[in-house]
Amino acid sequence: MGDQRAARGRRVIALTTLLLIALALATAEPVRAAAQQPCLKLVFNRYCLGGDLSALAQQSPPAYRQEEGDRVALIYYETRERIYVLGWRGRIYKVVRAYRVASQMRYQELYRLLREKYGPGEDRSTFPPDARTPGRRQIAIRRGEGRAAHVWSEPEGWHVELSWTRELGLSLAYISDELDRAQSAAMSSGY
């Protein structure tokens, strides 16, 4: 009887050891897969530009999800703003924060912060010829006749875009250059 107990104890220990090894391997695989995913930039301390869109959706379910072919948009609400995480073929190519309040003062505040962090950047604003003052530019934006935009390119393969348009309002976007080009080319070719 003592030999049977000892044998049973050894089997329990062996099974427990096998289960622990299997558990360690199972939990290591997602970590290894996540480590293989490139993260060009951690955006808003939460979203991995270039990372796995499905992993993000599983870890942090969005308030809304929209799919169109290879393109997926996840929408999150943070405080009073909306965050759009755009993916193409399973990878995050763009993260956009749309601000609830769009004003000249808020745009200038964000521009100043981004300029301090990334340098002068490039002004890509477009306005009608008569919109020379901040007030006229704001009117042009609200009418859909103009847009304020400033872009900062980074050597790591991503860029930042601060924009103020009629359609989206005031927004701050972090965009993967390679993935954005690839998805734009695929969309324009019809695939």
Least confident of 5-14, 60-69, 122-131, 147-156: 5-14
The predicted structure's pLDDT at residue 103: 87
Tokens matching residue 2: 């003592």
d(CA 31, CA 76) in angstroms, rounded, equals 24
pTM of the model: 0.77
Going by pLDDT thresholds of 50, 70 and 90, the confidence category of residue 28 is very low
Query: Please, where are the H alpha helices in the chain?
Result: 2-36, 53-59, 104-118, 134-143, 177-189
CA distance 41 to 37: 12
At residue 121, does pLDDT exceed 80? yes
